[in-house]
A = this chain, B = another copy of it.
Amino acid sequence: MVVELVSVGTELLLGNIVNTNTQFLAEQCALLGLSMYHQSVVGDNEERLAEVIRTALGRSDVVILTGGLGPTEDDLTKEVCAQVMGFDLKEDAHTKKRLEEYFKNSIYKNITDNNWKQVMVPEGAIVLDNDNGTAPGLILEKEGKAAVLLPGPPGELIPLFKNQVFPYLKKLQPEVIRSQMVKICGVGESQVEDRLLDLIDQQTNPTIATYAKTGEVHLRVTAHAKSEEEAKRLVKPVVKEIKSRFGDYVYSTKEEESLEMAVVRLLQKHELTVTTAESCTGGLLAGRIVNVPGASDVFREGFITYSNKAKRKYLDVSKSTLKKYGAVSEQTAREMAVGGVFAADCDVCVAVTGIAGPEGGTEDKPVGLVYIATCMKEKVTVKKYQFKGNREKVREMAVVRALDLLRRSILGNY
């Protein structure tokens, strides 16, 4: 079963809004095990919209159209789709009654004329009542193809989809799909694929998809089968094999678990408290840790010591270290981490000092040079990194590597 998405709206072509509906719908369709090969966006233009609908219906079984169902003149989706599929529009008594009810309870007392176009429905279409707006959703079926029309506002689209379209599509899909994530940090995308080349080459069912995130690689292993059990049985050995190849570079196999969540979970498990001592990242590292609900179990305070004076004042970095080696050095990173543990009276500290740029680089210490240190149970680990990219990228990479070093320091100590 192949499904395709068509978003209708000139505001998308002008870049006025991000198309989040498409991500939502794509994820839901993947969850249903439907194949999706195309998504497209077209403006509020009759001719081009008709052409896009014709193409989509030609190559896919189900076409989900979003937007262009409202009361205004440039809302054309229903009219054009009905025309392309050969349906006449007819007043729908049920929808008319709902529209009158809607306006009776609304702050707008009068129903403006243009609203009446929303009660016109293609003959024989399935009408999907919209509890959050005036335009109903519609399903048009013809010759084994279906067009699903949904209003554009996410607050209307999402509940309509979940409550009415999801069950409709589920009935069309005979197979079960199951997928599992494997999240890796500390290995580059190309290296990950290199080490999995044999598995990727021979993949049919399950398949392995790789997703590069900043400083991370996510792998999704997906199997389709006749039953949930069979799909699980197909996924399991592949995930196991990947985990054995990457060892503790794998930080999670949970879809919704981010790197910082994995770190906080590990700290919770070992009943450890952590603090952060940040120079170039300026709070972003702590900000990531605090992203995790319940971070207060393990994180109580953090230090943003951007100036040398602050490094001395809060973290007791020695004047002579700063003078002799500089703020961006192995020695300073080490003293920051050790000082952080003492100052915050906690179990582990992760410290970051580096040159984020664009200014401040030298031949010896170029932009992108970052030292990250952890201090835990009197054991100090310092790593030197040379990141590429602009100020933002260097700082983002530093945060990811700091979280990862923290994670490994805990694992290494247990």
* Partner-B contacts on A (CB < 8 A): 10-20, 22-30, 36-43, 45, 48, 52, 70-74, 102, 105-108, 112-115, 131-133, 153, 155, 159, 188-191, 193-194, 197, 200, 209-212, 214, 218, 220, 276, 278, 280-287, 289-291, 293-296, 299-307, 309-310, 313-314, 357-359, 368, 385-386, 388-393, 395-396
- The listed residue (B39, B74, B285) touching A40 by CB distance below 8 A is B39
Residue among B220, B285, B290, B306 making CB contact with A295, cutoff 8 Å: B306
Asked whether, in the complex, the Cβ of B314 is within 8 Å of the Cβ of A301, the reply is yes
Interface residue from B112, B278, B300 paired with A306 (Cβ < 8 Å): B300
Query: Is the CB–CB distance between A306 and B310 below 8 Å?
Result: no
A286 with B296: CB separation less than 8 A: no
CA distance A222 to B194 in the complex (A): 48
**Interchain CA distance A386-B155 in the complex, whole Å:** 17
Q: How far is the CB of A407 from chain B (nearest CB, A)?
A: 16
Tell me if A72 and B389 are in contact (CB < 8 A).
Answer: no
Verify B42–A37 contact, CB threshold 8 A.
yes
Number of copies: 2
Which of B211, B281, B295 is A287 in contact with, Cβ under 8 Å?
A: B281
Contact A391 B291 (CB under 8 A): yes
A385 to B396, CA, bound (A): 29
B residues within 8 A CB of A27?
Answer: 14-16
Contact A283 B302 (CB under 8 A): yes
Among A10, A190, A191, A303, chain B packs the most CB atoms within 10 A around the CB of A190
Checking B209, B385, B393 against A107 with a beta-carbon cut-off of 8 angstroms, the contacting residue is B385
Q: Is the CB of A287 within 8 A of B287?
A: yes
Point out the residues of chain B lying under 8 angstroms from A301, CB to CB: 303-307, 309-310, 313-314
B-side contacts of A71, CB under 8 Å: 189-190, 193
Is the Cβ of A23 less than 8 Å from the Cβ of B30? no
Which partner residue on chain B sits nearest A310 by CB separation? B301
Instruction: Report Cα–Cα, A281/B291, bound state, in Å.
Output: 9
Partner of A276, one of B17, B40, B112, B304: B304
Question: Are the CB atoms of B306 and A390 closer together than 8 Å?
Answer: no
User: Taking A36-B13, A41-B39, A304-B303 as contacts, is the C-beta distance between A389 and B155 under 8 angstroms?
Assistant: yes
User: Is there an interface contact between A13 and B41, defined as CB atoms closer than 8 Å?
Assistant: no
Among A48, A286, A385, the one with the most B-chain Cβ atoms within 10 Å of its Cβ is A286
A26→B12 contact, CB < 8 A: yes
> Besides A282-B302, A301-B309, 9 other CB < 8 A contacts?
A11-B211, A15-B29, A18-B18, A38-B41, A74-B210, A105-B388, A133-B388, A283-B286, A300-B307
How far is the CB of A402 from the nearest CB of chain B, in Å? 12
B390 contacts A159, CB within 8 Å? Answer: yes
Determine the chain B residues whose CB is within 8 A of the CB of A23 once the complex forms: 12, 15, 17-19
**Alpha-carbon distance between A278 and B16 when the two chains are bound, in angstroms:** 31
Bound complex: CA A253 to CA B286 (Å):
32
Of the candidates B105, B131, B200, which one forms a contact with A73 in the assembled complex, judged by CB atoms under 8 Å apart? B200
